[in-house]
Structure 1
Amino acid sequence: MSEASLTPLSARSGGPLTGRLRVPGDKSISHRALILGAMTVGETTISGLLEGEDVLNTAGAMRALGAKVENLGGGTWRIHGVGVGGFAAPAAPLDFGNSGTGCRLVMGAVAGCPVTAIFDGDASLRKRPMRRILDPLEKMGARVLDQAEGGRLPMTLRGATDPLPIEYETPVASAQIKSAVLLAGLAAPGETIVIEQEASRDHTEKMLKHFGAKIVSKPHGDHGRRIVLQGQPELEPANVAVPADPSSAAFPLVGALIVPDSEIILDGVMLNPLRTGLFTTLREMGAKIAEENKRDDGGEDVADLRVSFSALKGVDVPAARAPSMIDEYLILAVAAAFAEGVTRMRGLKELRVKESDRLEATADMLRVNGVKIEIEDDDLIVHGMGTNGVPGGGEVKTHMDHRIAMSALMMGLASKEPVRIDDSAFIATSFPGFVDLMKGLGAELS
């Protein structure tokens, strides 16, 4: 991307953040609702869909694979599915933009169909590894016909004519690997089994059940799960109400914790236990986060969160918590910078294969704004500077990564000097309307 096409943005300290808001719908649920809706026979309505670029690219892929996908306005979408194994060969490459989730889940769905599809994405997605997804899919009968060096995009995948059920133990805690195998397993006879030594987020299992699949998940070992899916179901259309995304809520939430005198309410945030590692950690640091109006929405726990400015203290974050907050370490590092004492985040290897090398990018974001940090193996150590202690004044390179951009801006709202990011364009991949929403709370962004 040329310098002329960048969209820089700065954040500076001002008054407190106040007000009530609902962040966009959960991205993980939105991707899965579109994919599984397309694999039913009949009509599914989705309300509250996240209309960010990542999810819109998944919607486009479902349309290209033969499902009828309609935007009814106001976050409501209707899908007429083609059934399990019913995808048609797309006429053009499937472009997933910046979305690793959309790309990898659709690879799983396509792997169970006798069609050939080309998978592609932007420059950032083309750098991300796909081999860990393809290994189990090839065991199920799919074939990679063409790929870029290192098992990367663009890639041509031919789905299995007669998919095979497998028992597969994931090499790392990854909802994307697990979900790809389960989506391919829908088209296979018998039982497809996935074993995790560390449980990853379980949205796919919950939504498969919501759409009528026979799936059982049981504890395995100390922290793992054993998931058994009965293949070749006829998935039933089922409406989905998408709750607010906890990963998106994390940004205004931490902003309110570190900007003095702030208090905000975040409406309808999903509190799936496998997604709330950040909230657990922040509470250990002394964060004032109260849950109000708790309820169940489409099988997921939901509540409104009241968040108030808090004096935070450094903590040791165990590696076992990583699967429940892998996308939130960047914004946690910002909170840690404003805490008293040292915060050590352990076992962050997975951050190196996200939209960017998020471990190094997080360290750079803090360093350039005067925060002392260290990386020891896969641990990130942040030396907190206390309330109003972060100097700021730096320009952060976002590396086409939406979460780096938003994390850096939240830091700028509480640092002594403004924080500038080199490009804000990629925020829209997960959080459309972010700047206007934050300004509505009183944030100084320009």
Structure 2
Amino acid sequence: MDVIVTPTPRLQGEIQALSSKNYTTRYLLVAALAEGTSTIYYPAHSEDSDAMRRCIRDLGAIVEEDDEKIVITGFGSNPKPINELNVGNAGAVLRFLMAIAALCPDVTFLNVYPDSLGKRPHNDLIDSLQQMGVEIDHQEGKLPITIRGGQPKGGKIQVSGNVSSQFLSALLFLTPLLKEDSEIEVQHDLKSKVVIGQTLEVLQQAGIVIHASDDLMHYKVPGNQRYEAKNYVVQGDYPGSAAVLAAAAVTQSDVTIHRLEENSKQGERAIIDVLRMMNVPLTHNNGIVHVQGNGKLKAVEFDGDAATDAVLAMVAAAVFAEGTSRFYNVENLRYKECDRITDYLNELRKAGANVEERQSEIIVHGRPEGVEGGVEIDAHYDHRVIMALTVVGLRAKAPIRIRDAHHVAKSYPIYFDHLKALGAAVEWVESN
């Protein structure tokens, strides 16, 4: 399905932020790794969290849910031996479960999205698991991947952190369950340190002890630990809300979003700071963000590494800012569902934006007068690109058609419903 975004001068209303995808997937996993019954309140519903639900069930967890919560009886350190797992297009779920699959004798992860997740490399995690005595068959680091585990060994483990922090998170979920103590050393650089903070926060809540160095590059993990069955409450999601906040910033608006904690460990919380730097009138108190946009923004410079999943929304806002904005230290955007630098900027140019790229930078020459629009653009099957392009469409001079916009469901299935509730002129149409 495609979406047609018609220029919309004013947004107004209140919405509840979606629940955090990152926290939901992590809580689902630690609940499955516990022996006993855990309850997760306000879980996210997205393709990623649905993939994690499906896979932990396949691995032997009992999963029951209603409108408010999920109750999970875990399998502990003994997942059911199964032959195949289908994670859909969910990269984080794949990587976390590749580590957990090391506890199984023989599991193949299927390649069901060859044009998206199927193109992404996982060599760094494969190397680390092989150091632990796990045999792995793969296609130059890509899916399909077969893990032949059963008896992974702790000890000294090295992992590269310069493509994704998800490889390190995967090892942090696995190593506490091993007989041996483990020492994990991160090599090169560590991308998205903020997200590792979320992983460590969830592990601590699950009763797991991990000794992390201050720079998050070294870890001591005692072995023979058990995950505790617990109750968890999922906080509101900043990455998805970033696009709604950007939409409110570039229009005349009076928009309120609930359930966004001020002291959240989500790096994408920085969208609030960036919009303030852009002179967007907003308040943030008691978990409520209130934006009274006037469509006037000024350019910013921002290190995007800690807020990866909000950068595209920030860029969309900067398209309409006075002056030249620069978003730097964002090379890992290239290794997502698509190349979120080259692919995204190509589509922005079609819509009339003046943007340029470096290897790890996005530069935006703002056009406060708006962009032309009137084009059909390709979102490259990427939920973050779809959301960000929609923001641009709201301030274009003519409608924009976004192809395959249904892929927004990967993280935010009701994104367009929320925008409509705020008055945005968006409509679904059949793909050509």
Under a length normalisation based on structure 1, what TM-score does the superposition of the two structures give? 0.89
Tell me the residue number matched to 1:142.
134
The answer to whether the 8 A contact 2:15-2:257 is kept is: yes
The answer to whether the 8 A contact 1:173-1:200 is kept is: no
Tell me the residue number matched to 1:358.
340
Q: Secondary structure at the match of 2:398?
A: coil
* 2:41 aligned to which of 35, 38, 47: 47
Q: CA RMSD in A?
A: 1.8
* 2:279 aligned to which of 286, 302, 311: 286
Once the two structures are superposed, the pairs formed by residues 100-179 of structure 1 within 5 Å of their partners are 100-111=91-102, 113-120=103-110, 121-123=112-114, 124-144=116-136, 146-148=137-139, 150-168=140-158, 170-172=160-162, 174-179=164-169
Deviation at 1:169, TM superposition (A): 5.2
Alpha-carbon displacement from aligned partner over 1:154-193 (angstroms, at most 9, x marks no partner)? 1111224142233435331733021111122122221333
Tell me the residue number matched to 1:264.
255
Distance in 1 between the 2:168 and 2:21 partners?
17
Deviation at 1:372, TM superposition (A): 1.3
Distance in 2 between the 1:126 and 1:365 partners?
22
* 1:236 aligned to which of 228, 235, 238: 228
Identity of aligned residues (%): 29
Tell me the residue number matched to 2:13.
19
Q: Secondary structure at the match of 1:445?
A: strand
* 2:383 aligned to which of 380, 402, 410: 402
Q: Secondary structure at the match of 1:404?
A: helix
Unpaired runs of 5+ residues, structure 2, are: 428-432
Alpha-carbon displacement from aligned partner over 1:275-333 (angstroms, at most 9, x marks no partner)? 3233332322223332111xxxxxxxxx2211221521112223xx41x2112222111
Tell me the residue number matched to 1:185.
175
Tell me the residue number matched to 2:57.
63
Distance in 2 between the 1:234 and 1:34 partners?
16
Amino acid at match of 1:392: G
Amino acid at match of 2:76: G
Pair 286,173 (structure 1): closer, same or farther in 2 beyond 3 Å: farther
Q: Secondary structure at the match of 2:10?
A: coil
Pair 383,200 (structure 1): closer, same or farther in 2 beyond 3 Å: same
Alpha-carbon displacement from aligned partner over 1:244-288 (angstroms, at most 9, x marks no partner)? 11001111110000012x021111124326332333323222233
The answer to whether the 8 A contact 1:51-1:75 is kept is: no
Report how many aligned residue pairs link the two structures.
417
Tell me the residue number matched to 1:384.
366
Amino acid at match of 2:238: P
Distance in 1 between the 2:268 and 2:213 partners?
18
Pair 350,89 (structure 1): closer, same or farther in 2 beyond 3 Å: same
Question: After the TM superposition, which of the residue ranges 336-345 and 159-168 deviates more from structure 2?
Answer: 159-168
Distance in 1 between the 2:153 and 2:104 partners?
9
1:8 aligns with 2:2: yes
Distance in 2 between the 1:373 and 1:379 partners?
11
Unpaired runs of 5+ residues, structure 1, are: 1-6, 294-302
* 2:302 aligned to which of 317, 321, 330: 317
Under a length normalisation based on structure 2, what TM-score does the superposition of the two structures give? 0.92
Q: Secondary structure at the match of 2:184?
A: strand
Amino acid at match of 1:395: E
Q: Secondary structure at the match of 2:268?
A: coil
Tell me the residue number matched to 2:405.
424
Alpha-carbon displacement from aligned partner over 1:226-249 (angstroms, at most 9, x marks no partner)? 433222211110111111110011
Amino acid at match of 2:39: T
The answer to whether the 8 A contact 1:211-1:235 is kept is: yes
Q: Secondary structure at the match of 1:361?
A: helix
Deviation at 1:195, TM superposition (A): 4.0
Tell me the residue number matched to 1:332.
314
Deviation at 1:394, TM superposition (A): 2.1
Q: Secondary structure at the match of 1:170?
A: strand
